[in-house]
Structure 1
């Protein structure tokens, strides 16, 4: 049994923190959570064909959490639109840098950031159709994440039920972890 991932989401120093600092912390936390969920899929006996497939799953989880952060910033934290946009763009840029660094190590030279930004823009339009409430992402919101990961993983015998794992466990757990982390960082 895997140990639960511990997330540090409280500041060491008291005082106000800039949106840039908060964005950096959120990007790092979301990366750790996405990595953990990708590893968890393997632990649940779903099969990755290669590292590219695993990175693509991590990217889908990152985009899902970015959508949650945006909704939370608007709906609960009531951050002004201009600051909310700055925050989400800063998180996305920091996530992209993490993806770039890790992809260089795994796949060699290339510009991995632009593909990530294009995918964020595409998914933002798709996720805009789905509701996010106090209870978290709606069923269609979670189903979309599950569908996208199913497309990456394929429908081999081993991966046939990955959509259920993502919708029933991974998506809701990511929401349960990223929401309090974001609240803590804004305290």
Structure 2
């Protein structure tokens, strides 16, 4: 199975990036990682239909990824910078999600929450739950990843529920976290990068 390849180089080297700049870059990467996770789940024959279920899955994964990035930011940033980073990150992720949901599902009817607000509300709700879980040198602990697995389990048809938690914990989460860790290292780095032969970007099959 082809792996998602993330390029997180910056054209400006030798200079620090603002928390907002880093958040913008990582929001785009988190979105691509979430899409790759969904694609791999479908390739593994889990039924995730295009429509509300597709975006419910994506929202859950994006909340998880933003929580992981917040823990990584805690390890690398001062408190003020971390707060600015996570706020900008969540808002930008919500914007990207809204653009895609509005395009594919349509804008919610008048009086209903926007897709942007739905994501913000879910993030705020689950942040309290994820705060109880541990995060160490190897990434999120067992309970952290299992919680996501059970959140995803509730979205799946009955035939997939027996296997989905194991799939998320053993395969999807470790790969996603590894991509995020390498991307954060690249985004935070001020070291000059090696010459490249191809245009920097983000690609995946």
TM-score where L is the length of structure 1 = 0.94
Please state if 1:108 is matched with 2:103: no
Q: Could you list the per-position Cα deviations for residues 153-177 of structure 1 after superposition, in whole angstroms to 9, with x for gaps in the alignment?
A: 14x1144311110011111111111
Give 3-state SS (helix, strand or coil) of 1:152's partner. coil
Q: Which runs of 5+ in 2 are unaligned?
A: 109-113, 190-205
Trace 1:1-187 onto structure 2 (pairs within 5 A). 2-14=1-13, 15-75=15-75, 77=76, 79-110=77-108, 111-154=114-157, 156-187=158-189
Higher-RCO chain (CA-CA 8 Å, sequence separation at least 6): 2
Q: Could you list the per-position Cα deviations for residues 76-127 of structure 1 after superposition, in whole angstroms to 9, with x for gaps in the alignment?
A: x1x1212101100100000000011000111111310111011001111010
- Give, in whole Å, the separation in 1 of the partners of 2:38 and 2:134: 25
- Give, in whole Å, the separation in 2 of the partners of 1:73 and 1:158: 34
1:57 CA drift (Å) = 1.1
TM-score where L is the length of structure 2 = 0.86
* Count of paired positions: 183
- In the other structure, the counterpart of 2:197 is none
Give runs of ≥4 in structure 1 deviating > 6 Å: none
Q: Which runs of 5+ in 1 are unaligned?
A: none
Q: Between Structure 1 and Structure 2, which shows a larger proportion of helix residues?
A: 1
1:50 CA drift (Å) = 4.0
User: For the pair shown, which has the larger CA radius of gyration, 1 or 2?
Assistant: 2
- Give, in whole Å, the separation in 1 of the partners of 2:160 and 2:124: 31
Q: Could you list the per-position Cα deviations for residues 48-86 of structure 1 after superposition, in whole angstroms to 9, with x for gaps in the alignment?
A: 2442111111111111111111111112x1x12121011
- Give, in whole Å, the separation in 2 of the partners of 1:73 and 1:18: 13
Give the aligned CA root-mean-square deviation in angstroms.
Answer: 1.2
